[in-house]
């Protein structure tokens, strides 16, 4: 009950405005439903405006939440989830104004919980991460209001009722990448996947995925997987070292030219909440086995940015070496041919298209 009590008047008013779907909500009706004075309602509206919500209206006109409001909101995200995703994640979505890292917070919760299955379906979002993480403990730049930064706690031991065959946890990263690409393709974008966990658009990285498993040491089984996703949505002032490498869905030049497939006028009304709901709905369906693993992996292969290209392999141990990428296996391994004509599969590690690396 503590969570319900802690909800502020402005939180509840925001839910009411969202439910109106663009229709005006009169101050009188809001006051009646909240059991407050109209002045208190006006103050709550002012508070929401201060948080970045675009609310039109005033005296005798009713209040309307404009579609251009693009502040992440748990109620809005949950409202647009598919039936299955809502049954898994409903009531378990949280949005932080700022946090060190959503993956780190997910780990903290799993470490302090005796039964990881209780946290199954938990979704943690952040408007800003002060210590966003990528693979190999690298930083992930996460400026406020510019992206989708979130983590899903998923327990593979929980199976669907109709006993569909759920995918192998070792493929969660690949499956997440395909799901995100599908959602972006629906918006008119043409993303590519750079093995193993990055999504590229127009030659720049726009998304990183970090999957971390929590292992039961006694049984050696995967108790839970944290799937962390960082997607750059809006153009932001990337630091100098990232300017040439990182991009976003809506960079100014792409929006103005319409190259991304989305007319410029639609960019202002784009909703990060709606995109989040779309990604999560499909991700839950895929993790529950509603999409065939083989089909997802075929798509992963076809979206590969590296197939047919020469890369520099950066192994965990040993010296970097050049190789030609031939494709990706059903298990998500990178199939390569080295200079001496030998074929091998890279199970984990990193490859670079930059030969000065």
Sequence-ordered list of residues with C-beta below 8 angstroms from that of 318, at least 6 positions apart, any chain = none
Number of compact structural domains in the chain: 3
Most confident of 47-51, 121-125, 339-343: 121-125
Residue at which a domain ends, from 46, 65, 84: 65
| 200 part of a folded domain | yes
Q: What percent of the chain has pLDDT over 90?
A: 56
Do 248 and 341 share a domain, yes or no?
A: no
CA distance 147 to 149: 6
- Tell me the CATH number at 163: 3.30.930.10
Average pLDDT over residues 90-111: 94
pLDDT of residue 114: 87
| 345 part of a folded domain | yes
Q: Give the model's confidence band at 338: pLDDT under 50 very low, under 70 low, under 90 confident, else very high.
A: very high
Strand pairing report for 62-65 and 204-216: unpaired
Residue at which a domain ends, from 65, 86, 108: 65
| 13 part of a folded domain | yes
pLDDT of residue 1: 29
CA distance 303 to 185: 11
Do 137 and 234 share a domain, yes or no?
A: yes
Do 126 and 201 share a domain, yes or no?
A: yes
| 204 part of a folded domain | yes
pLDDT of residue 283: 97
Among residues 91, 106, 52, 103, the alpha carbon closest in space to that of 272 is found at: 52
Do 100 and 239 share a domain, yes or no?
A: yes
End-to-end CA distance of the chain: 53
**For 263-306, what is each residue's pLDDT tens digit?**
433 555 578 999 999 999 999 999 999 988 999 999 999 999 99
Do 224 and 108 share a domain, yes or no?
A: yes
Do 19 and 103 share a domain, yes or no?
A: no
| 36 part of a folded domain | yes
pLDDT of residue 239: 67
The 343-346 sheet, strands edge to edge: 343-346, 334-338, 321-328, 310-314, 350-352
pLDDT above 50 for 256: no
User: What is the Rg, in whole angstroms, of the alpha carbon atoms belonging to the chain?
Assistant: 22
| 111 part of a folded domain | yes
| 262 part of a folded domain | yes
CA distance 280 to 130: 23
- Confirm if 229 and 183 have CB atoms less than 8 A apart: no
In eight-state DSSP terms, residue 250 is B
Alpha helices in the chain (DSSP H): 2-5, 9-19, 27-34, 38-50, 74-79, 83-89, 102-111, 172-186, 252-257, 264-267, 272-287, 293-302
Q: Dihedral sign for Cα 98, 244, 189, 282, please.
A: negative
Do 254 and 173 share a domain, yes or no?
A: yes
pLDDT of residue 139: 64
| 146 part of a folded domain | yes
Do 142 and 37 share a domain, yes or no?
A: no
Do 107 and 241 share a domain, yes or no?
A: yes
Lowest mean pLDDT, pick from 91-95, 146-150, 179-183, 298-302 = 146-150
Residue at which a domain ends, from 286, 302, 318: 302
- Confirm if 174 and 296 have CB atoms less than 8 A apart: yes
Do 13 and 128 share a domain, yes or no?
A: no
Range of the domain at 282: 74-302
Do 12 and 134 share a domain, yes or no?
A: no
- Cα 87 from chain centroid (whole Å): 19
pLDDT of residue 303: 97
- Tell me the CATH number at 319: 2.30.30.100
- Tell me the CATH number at 11: 1.10.10.10
Do 179 and 117 share a domain, yes or no?
A: yes
Six-digit token pair at 46?
A: 């002012």
Lowest mean pLDDT, pick from 40-44, 200-204, 219-223 = 219-223
pLDDT of residue 145: 65
**For 30-85, what is each residue's pLDDT tens digit?**
999 999 999 999 999 999 998 888 899 866 789 998 866 778 989 889 989 999 99
């Amino acid at each position: 009950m503590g969570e319900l009590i802690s909800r502020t008047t402005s939180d509840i008013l925001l839910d009411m405005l969202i439910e109106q779907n663009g229709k005006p909500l009169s101050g009188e009706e809001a006051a009646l439903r909240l059991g407050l004075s109209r002045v208190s309602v006006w103050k709550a509206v002012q508070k929401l405006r201060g948080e970045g919500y675009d609310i039109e209206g005033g005296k005798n006109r009713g209040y309307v939440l404009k579609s251009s409001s693009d502040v992440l909101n748990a109620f809005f995200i949950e409202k647009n989830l598919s039936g299955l995703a809502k049954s898994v994640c409903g009531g378990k979505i949280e949005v932080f104004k700022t946090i060190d890292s959503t993956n780190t917070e997910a780990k903290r919760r799993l470490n302090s919980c005796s039964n990881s299955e209780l946290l199954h379906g938990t979704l943690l979002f952040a408007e800003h991460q002060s210590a966003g993480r990528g693979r190999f403990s690298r930083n992930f730049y996460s400026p406020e209001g510019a992206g989708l930064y979130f983590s899903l706690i998923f327990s593979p031991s929980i199976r669907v009722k109709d006993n569909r065959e759920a995918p192998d946890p070792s493929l969660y990263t690949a499956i997440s990448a395909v799901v995100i690409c599908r959602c972006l393709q629906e918006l008119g974008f043409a993303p590519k996947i750079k093995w193993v966990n990055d999504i590229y658009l127009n030659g720049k990285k726009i998304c990183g995925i970090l999957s971390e498993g929590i292992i039961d040491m006694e049984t050696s089984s995967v108790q839970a997987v944290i799937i962390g996703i960082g997607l750059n949505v809006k153009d932001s002032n990337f630091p100098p070292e990232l300017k040439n490498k990182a991009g976003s869905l809506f960079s100014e030049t792409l929006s103005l030219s319409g190259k991304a497939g989305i007319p410029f006028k639609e960019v202002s009304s784009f909703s990060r909440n709606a995109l989040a709901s779309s990604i999560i709905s499909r991700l839950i369906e895929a993790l529950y086995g509603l999409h065939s693993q083989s089909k997802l992996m075929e798509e992963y292969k076809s979206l590969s940015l590296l197939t047919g290209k020469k890369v520099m392999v950066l192994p965990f141990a040993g010296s970097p070496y050049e190789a030609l990428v031939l494709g990706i296996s059903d298990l998500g391994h990178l199939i390569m041919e080295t200079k001496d004509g030998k074929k091998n599969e890279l199970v984990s590690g990193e490859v670079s298209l930059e030969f000065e690396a």
